[in-house]
Structure 1
Amino acid sequence: LLVRNWLSLFRATTYMSDTLSHVRQLLAPGGMLVLWEKTAPQRWLDLIFGLLGGWQKFNDLDLRPDSPLLSSSKWEQLLSESGFAEVVTVPKTGGRSTALSKETVIIAQAESNKIKEKISATNTSRKVALNKRKAALNKQQQSYLDEFITTYTRKTQKSQETAQRYRPLLADKRATAKWIMELKEMRYPIVGESANGSRMWDVDGNEYIDISLGFGVHLFGHKPQFITEAIQNWLNQGVQVGPQAKFVGEVAQLIQELTGMERVAFCNSGTEAMMTAVRLARLTTGRDRIVMFTNSYHGHSDGVLAVAPTNLDNNHQAVPVSPGVLQNMVDDVIVLNYGASESLDIIRANGHKLAAVLVEPVQSRRLSLQPKEFLQELRQFTKQAGIALIFDEVITGFRIHPGGAQAWFDIEADIVAYGKCVGGGVPIGIIAGKGDYMDGLDGGQWHYGDDSYPHKLQTFFGGTFNKNPLAMATAKAVLEHLQREGLSLQENLNQGTSKLVETLNTYFKQEDVPVKVIYFASIFQFVSSDNESYIFQPIEVEILIHHLIKKGLYIWEGRICFLSTAHTEQDIDYIISAVKESISEMRQGGFFPKNNQQIYQINVKQPERVRGAL
């Protein structure tokens, strides 16, 4: 029996010793169990395990106190205790051998003691490619999926051809995000041709109701007249980069009026905005350390690409989320569980060292967690300790409420990062905050005609396209529109999303479909009913997403969905019907069988505990 690592079925069980004992009984005399396992600490896998709900359900905490990964010695001990006569571990050779890639081949034999003779080294080697598709699905499901893939790729043929044509030239992460081998032939982004209102059309001529909306950018749908006019008027003036943008002051004032923030600065993305916010916090407080929370995303600058360690004896010292990010870039980062009282205790204990706490008030990758009381306690302590509370509202800002999450939760942050929808489709990043922090960009207030000067200590900040005049023109149009419409714009949008989500969740429950929709305001996501992981969802959920695309709902690879003010009640009704039709069709192919949750249910009360890794 050969078991490759990754999502090892052994590590996914409640008690590994019981599972391995059962496998031992199934093996014929002399039979071998071959495991290909990762046995060194792997920070990116710790992140995956922490995000995947199922990993929190194992009960053998004495064996796995911090992470599902086991060392070679632990594997040898466990297999011997499970009844295997002989166990041998062989380090995997070939390729790079680092702390992030170490793999071990573990061979355990039911009887006999001649393993070492059978696996002695040779002068030849060969690569083995595993056919993962056959292992994942039964015959009915595989047949259905093969037919569906053929239909899907035929419908979106030009998008697939585009991906294949430019793959040698274009390094495109979207094609490999959330990789599932069984769905390889459908792993390509849909190529857009045009868009208007709630609709978009791809290069194959297919029409979609767009519920990805530029990853949250298109709050008003595609081509709203007030934004189109702003862009056209700016183009008629010529492309001016260098002189101060005409509308930059007005945009700053509009942001102040809507959010209450004292001062404002502009850059080009949410990543840049958060990077600058952290720099300002460190400058103002004179401290180095920052706190982040598991499942939060604050852009891709190296200083925030951190995850919690597996070993908490190092005072919660974070580690890089992936290869290429140096450890010293995250040495001053602490990663904690969001919404947990234990996290508040750790923040209080380290308060004298902290420059800032970074928060996505509602995490885009965990929409169901909306911890208002936690945020209120966090705000109270950070204010007392002189720690900057930084809200990352790149997604939620202006979408959920004119005043963003600050107004929604009635909590005032020190610095807030905005982006996405406020640019109206044009790249933008905004840093807004209290004067004590924002003065670090320009030295604070001074006036003409007297002896005043920029007297505050300044950090570095710059960029060719900062305060881009096109972005200022579209942001002005967006903010003026939001100000005219008032809170009713977001309230109506949120109500429409609530209707959609409640209708679908009622249907899923009535029909015994192990899927649910989680949401916050006008942001929602399809997930497994017992697993809200952003990174890993069962293959059935991924197939469902592709079904919805085939039926004319555009959903991007990250699966986070949005509604816009351009969506109508008819659009919402169509989304509901498309989901129901997709479930019905998938059931004909052997997916989502009724009452299937009863088959896998384990009636064991899980103890409450704080996960060691995340």
Structure 2
Amino acid sequence: MKAMTELQLEDRHRQFIEKMALEMAKTAPKSKENASMHQTHLVDQRKTGGLKKALKPLQFHLTYEKGDGAYLYDVDGNKYIDIASDNGVNLFGHQPAFIKEAIVNRLDKGYPLVGYTEELTQVTKLFSELTGHERVLLTQSGTEAVMWAVRIARAATQKKKIVIFEGAFHGLSDAVLAAKDQFGNSIAMGLGMLQEFADELIVLDYGNMDHLNVIEERADEIAGVLVEPVQSRNPANQPIEFLKEVRKLTLESGVLLIMDEMITGFRACCNGVQGLWKIKGDLATYGKIPAGGMPSGMIAGPAKYMNFVDGGVFDYDDNSMPSVKKALMAGTHTRNPIKLAATLAILTEIKKRCSASGKDACEPNACFLQDLNEKTMLMCEELNSFFVMKRVPIVIEYFSSLFRFRFLDDPNGVVKELLMILMRMNGVETSPSGNCFLTVVHSDKDIKAIIKAIKQSADTLLKEGFFYESDTAEEDDAQEEVQAATPARADKTNKPVQEPKKDDQMEKLRDLIVSDLKNFQEKGVMI
């Protein structure tokens, strides 16, 4: 089966879409009104993500009244099971009691921004304990954390170039945003972005062993290799052996390895993919989960690199002074006490759950997150089996509790957007970014309801003719692509899928997968 493109839609499809639009207008009238009337003053790039002319009456953002646990409630009184999880922030669901209590207690004391509060030292000590990194720097966002990590790498090595991998996302800084053209050259990604920034980036293919030669040959000009150990836009690609080789090569070449664990940190296991795969970066960036819903980011690493931020440790009662020349970094809200209170509450809860296993430190096979990760795997496998049985070109790729829908023949097409809209109408809310998550507060009943909603939505698309029979040759190719793209079930929940061979069927999907990057200019970048 193949999905209808927007240009292939017929009158019967348009009539069905009109019917859906009328139903949505009745179900969520206040949300639709809010989405329209506030555009004059509100600038929001996210509203254009995935926007299709044929579906525009259906693609307005909901106005939420509240979030509670695993659920979202809109201003029209509708309840949804939330699998957007605020783009991966809410590991413990919306407004867990322990975070609310910590924030309220801090609010009662005020929130001075300039000096230290007790939470600051508690947070950094506990963060180091959980991640295994020596020193920690707090930032105001994930984008800022990655931007500063790159600056630290350049300061420490006195070199300019940064290696990134196609398909990864490291935030909105010009310092880490570039695409690769057909000749392998780095190019600026959009309006207002300078080619001069892109020229300092080397874009390679993640998992391609042949590209290690580029790092080796150009090591004398490379300050750092920046990597999402499991790319949020391509979670089925888990090239552990490739990453081990990158780690070995960077150690031998005097190049810093920066592990961007913005999404996988505190999700794959307590100390992230670095702990799970036993591959530790020189620097690591975090955000989302450990900030407890507050705007924040973190950079962690050994003193020899982190000292480039504050000059290193010194004593106030002797003649010692900062010993390292500093790179410029500052921010008014870097140590905001409200976010520190939330972060301390999250880290304390994580440590408590780790300690419940009787272990002094997190062990991947005994991590409290393994149960959640296994539930995610079982849910995705059931749905992938359903898609195969129905012969629709959809695969759910997953890693830990992150999962993502992949349309194999039209990855950003109208049918993909229709599936998300139908899921909403069936009581499940997703994210425009495409990344979905389970949380520890999703019950077995919730997961069954999610599965049911997805199946009903796909069945509706089939019934209404949004998939059609391809010819025999196309069908054979599509079946091969489905088999290649479906993640293999691992013996252990987070055992990595074997690195794809250069000539296997995954290579045929390359142009489809990287279309996320190529569409950034017209759709906007979303995290």
Q: TM-score, normalised by structure 2?
A: 0.86
Of 298, 316, 319, 1:451 maps to 319
How big is each residue's C-alpha offset from its partner over 1:13-32, in whole Å with a ceiling of 9 and x where there is no partner? xxxxxxxxxxxxxxxxxxxx
Q: Is residue 572 of structure 1 aligned with residue 466 of structure 2?
A: no
How big is each residue's C-alpha offset from its partner over 1:260-297, in whole Å with a ceiling of 9 and x where there is no partner? 10110101110000000000000000101110011111
Measure the CA separation in 2 of the matches of 1:426 and 1:228.
12
Question: Contact (CA 8 Å) 1:174, 1:188: kept in 2 or not?
Answer: no
Q: Which residue of 1 aligns with 2:166?
A: 294
Q: Which residue of 2 aligns with 1:561?
A: 436
Of 201, 223, 245, 2:95 maps to 223
Question: Contact (CA 8 Å) 1:361, 1:392: kept in 2 or not?
Answer: yes
Measure the CA separation in 1 of the matches of 2:175 and 2:412.
28
Of 571, 589, 594, 2:464 maps to 589
Question: Contact (CA 8 Å) 2:35, 2:62: kept in 1 or not?
Answer: no
Question: Which segment drifts farther, 554-563 or 482-491?
Answer: 482-491
Paired residues, number:
474
Q: Is residue 277 of structure 1 aligned with residue 277 of structure 2?
A: no
Measure the CA separation in 2 of the matches of 1:485 and 1:598.
53
Measure the CA separation in 2 of the matches of 1:465 and 1:298.
21
How big is each residue's C-alpha offset from its partner over 1:521-568, in whole Å with a ceiling of 9 and x where there is no partner? 00001121456xxxx423222111100011111112112100111100
1:345 is displaced (CA, Å) by 1.2
1:449 is displaced (CA, Å) by 2.6
1:388 is displaced (CA, Å) by 0.7
Measure the CA separation in 1 of the matches of 2:194 and 2:323.
35
1:156 is displaced (CA, Å) by 2.1
Question: Contact (CA 8 Å) 1:158, 1:204: kept in 2 or not?
Answer: yes
Change in CA separation of 1:380 and 1:148 when aligned onto 2, cut-off 3 Å: same
Q: Which residue of 2 aligns with 1:198?
A: 70
Provide the identity percentage. Answer: 36
1:511 is displaced (CA, Å) by 2.0
Measure the CA separation in 1 of the matches of 2:196 and 2:117.
38
Of 406, 419, 424, 1:544 maps to 419
Of 399, 403, 408, 2:271 maps to 403
Question: Which segment drifts farther, 519-528 or 449-458?
Answer: 449-458
Change in CA separation of 1:597 and 1:521 when aligned onto 2, cut-off 3 Å: farther
How big is each residue's C-alpha offset from its partner over 1:61-103, in whole Å with a ceiling of 9 and x where there is no partner? xxxxxxxxxxxxxxxxxxxxxxxxxxxxxxxxxxxxxxxxxxx
Measure the CA separation in 1 of the matches of 2:397 and 2:15.
31
Q: What letter matches 2:398 in structure 1?
A: Y
**3-state DSSP class of the match of 2:383?**
helix
Q: How does 1:146-545 map to 2 (within 5 A)?
A: 146-312=18-184, 316=185, 318-486=186-354, 487-529=366-408, 536-545=411-420
Question: Contact (CA 8 Å) 1:159, 1:191: kept in 2 or not?
Answer: yes
Question: Contact (CA 8 Å) 2:120, 2:335: kept in 1 or not?
Answer: yes
How big is each residue's C-alpha offset from its partner over 1:471-508, in whole Å with a ceiling of 9 and x where there is no partner? 11111110011011015431111011111101111111
Q: Which residue of 2 aligns with 1:600?
A: 474
Measure the CA separation in 1 of the matches of 2:422 and 2:40.
29
Measure the CA separation in 1 of the matches of 2:235 and 2:390.
24
Q: Which residue of 1 aligns with 2:522?
A: none
Question: Contact (CA 8 Å) 2:269, 2:367: kept in 1 or not?
Answer: no
Measure the CA separation in 2 of the matches of 1:580 and 1:450.
69
Question: Contact (CA 8 Å) 1:419, 1:428: kept in 2 or not?
Answer: yes
Q: What letter matches 2:157 in structure 1?
A: T
Q: Name the larger-Rg structure.
A: 1
1:298 is displaced (CA, Å) by 0.7
How big is each residue's C-alpha offset from its partner over 1:39-79, in whole Å with a ceiling of 9 and x where there is no partner? xxxxxxxxxxxxxxx9xxxxxxxxxxxxxxxxxxxxxxxxx
Q: What letter matches 1:334 in structure 2?
A: I
1:142 is displaced (CA, Å) by 2.2
**3-state DSSP class of the match of 1:343?**
helix
How big is each residue's C-alpha offset from its partner over 1:123-168, in whole Å with a ceiling of 9 and x where there is no partner? xxxxxxxxx96x3302322222221222123322222211110111
Question: Which segment drifts farther, 359-368 or 172-181?
Answer: 172-181
Measure the CA separation in 2 of the matches of 1:612 and 1:517.
18
Q: What letter matches 1:411 in structure 2?
A: I
Question: Contact (CA 8 Å) 1:176, 1:187: kept in 2 or not?
Answer: no
Measure the CA separation in 2 of the matches of 1:529 and 1:296.
19
How big is each residue's C-alpha offset from its partner over 1:239-275, in whole Å with a ceiling of 9 and x where there is no partner? 3222212211111111111111011010111000000
Measure the CA separation in 1 of the matches of 2:265 and 2:472.
41
Measure the CA separation in 2 of the matches of 1:136 and 1:190.
29
Measure the CA separation in 1 of the matches of 2:111 and 2:280.
37
1:408 is displaced (CA, Å) by 1.4
Measure the CA separation in 2 of the matches of 1:179 and 1:547.
15
Question: Contact (CA 8 Å) 2:404, 2:434: kept in 1 or not?
Answer: yes
1:597 is displaced (CA, Å) by 7.6
Q: What letter matches 1:349 in structure 2?
A: E
How big is each residue's C-alpha offset from its partner over 1:367-425, in whole Å with a ceiling of 9 and x where there is no partner? 11111001000000001111110011111111110001101111010011100011111
**3-state DSSP class of the match of 2:167?**
coil
**3-state DSSP class of the match of 1:524?**
strand
Q: What letter matches 2:391 in structure 1?
A: D
**3-state DSSP class of the match of 1:264?**
strand
Question: Contact (CA 8 Å) 1:219, 1:564: kept in 2 or not?
Answer: yes
Structure 1 unaligned spans of 5+? 1-53, 55-131
**3-state DSSP class of the match of 1:324?**
coil
Q: What letter matches 2:392 in structure 1?
A: V
Question: Contact (CA 8 Å) 1:497, 1:522: kept in 2 or not?
Answer: yes
**3-state DSSP class of the match of 2:143?**
helix
Q: Which residue of 2 aligns with 1:5?
A: none
Measure the CA separation in 1 of the matches of 2:462 and 2:198.
46
**3-state DSSP class of the match of 1:418?**
strand
Question: Which segment drifts farther, 536-545 or 230-239?
Answer: 536-545
1:596 is displaced (CA, Å) by 4.8
1:585 is displaced (CA, Å) by 2.0
Measure the CA separation in 1 of the matches of 2:477 and 2:43.
46
Question: Contact (CA 8 Å) 1:310, 1:612: kept in 2 or not?
Answer: no
**3-state DSSP class of the match of 2:300?**
strand
1:598 is displaced (CA, Å) by 4.5
How big is each residue's C-alpha offset from its partner over 1:314-359, in whole Å with a ceiling of 9 and x where there is no partner? xx4x211001101112221111111111221111111111000000
Question: Which segment drifts farther, 302-311 or 359-368?
Answer: 302-311
Measure the CA separation in 1 of the matches of 2:107 and 2:450.
37
Question: Which segment drifts farther, 244-253 or 356-365?
Answer: 244-253
Question: Contact (CA 8 Å) 2:113, 2:335: kept in 1 or not?
Answer: no
Q: What letter matches 2:454 in structure 1?
A: V
Q: Which residue of 2 aligns with 1:34?
A: none
**3-state DSSP class of the match of 2:290?**
helix
Measure the CA separation in 1 of the matches of 2:470 and 2:101.
53
